[in-house]
Amino acid sequence: MVEAMEQEVELRPGERVDDLHRNGFRIIQDPKRFCFGVDAVLLSGFAKAAKGERVVDLGTGTGIIPILLAARTEAEEIYGLEIQAESAEMASRSVALNHLQERITILEGDIKAPPAQLKPSSFQVVTCNPPYMNSGGGLQNQFGPKAIARHEVLVNLEEVVAQASRLLSFGGRFYLVHRPHRLVDIFCLLRQYKLEPKQMRLVHPYVQKEPMMVLIEAVRSGKPMLKVLPPLVIYEADGSYTKETIQIYYE
């Protein structure tokens, strides 16, 4: 069956098909460009989408978050927006590989000026795993696929937050994964664009290590009240996944 599925889509040189351990879904990746990380998986586990809701993932890359949300939720429509043509095309082939064309649409376009299909106030859920690092920093190839995914060379945090606010309907939720050292910037921008932080969860690599990621839920025009959830620890002392991490990956 796996061979039959792979024959339905074309693989480019250097690409591979990886098992997502969810609903039999798989994803096409090219290690030389960019492969999804634990942050995308954790965000897809943190985000919530109810039956009939519309979702858009900003900067979708390989399409990992839309595909995992299709496995985890009953969202009616899921869009993935990606500025890099090669990545958007690869994500579209992954959608076809999993026969998800009726639920997931991949669009090529800029977060700062979304395509016409992404109308203002028309989504109940927006997700984003944005570039974490400020632009600059002596990048050797600032417009390479990995640099674009990791550094704010094509879009910055404010532009992401502004578009999330624009796309969300009243009471809609914005789910974000980022670095803890940007928390002050994140909270200031969320409130500036009428997105009220409602839940926050810090992610630690090991129980004794400082957090390396933060998961945030913000609500469009929500009332002030932030709930800090228990920390999520990824690894046991021996380097194996914790039970919760295993549940998120392989539930």
Encode pLDDT of 105-129 as tens digits: 999 999 999 999 999 999 999 999 9
User: How many Cβ atoms sit within 10 Å of the Cβ of residue 148?
Assistant: 23
- pLDDT confidence tier of residue 156, bands split at 50, 70 and 90: very high
**Higher local confidence (pLDDT), 39 or 32:** 39
Question: Percent helix, strand, coil in the chain (nearest 5)?
Answer: 30, 30, 40
Nearest alpha carbon to residue 118 among 176, 196, 58: 58
What local confidence, expressed as pLDDT, does residue 131 receive? Answer: 80
Q: What is the mean predicted confidence (pLDDT) over 50-79?
A: 97
What local confidence, expressed as pLDDT, does residue 146 receive? Answer: 55
Whether pTM exceeds 0.75? yes
> Is pLDDT above 50 for 5?
no
Encode pLDDT of 170-196 as tens digits: 999 999 999 999 999 999 999 999 999
β-bridge pairing 195-204 and 213-220: antiparallel
Beta-carbon contacts of 38 under 8 Å, excluding residues fewer than 6 positions away, are 234
Residue found by looking up tokens 């098992």 in the block: 19
What local confidence, expressed as pLDDT, does residue 34 receive? Answer: 83
Domain holding 44, by residue range, is 2-250
> Is pLDDT above 60 for 3?
no
Alpha helices in the chain (DSSP H): 2-7, 38-46, 64-72, 85-97, 145-150, 157-167, 183-192, 243-250
| SS3 state of residue 218 | strand
Specify the CATH number for the domain of residue 32.
3.40.50.150
Considering the chain, what is the average pLDDT of its residues? Answer: 91
Encode pLDDT of 136-149 as tens digits: 544 445 556 655 45
The domain total for the chain is 1
DSSP state for residue 180 in the 8-state scheme: G
Q: What is the 3-state secondary structure of 118-163?
A: CCCCCEEEEEECCCCECCCCCCCCCCCHHHHHHECCCCCHHHHHHH
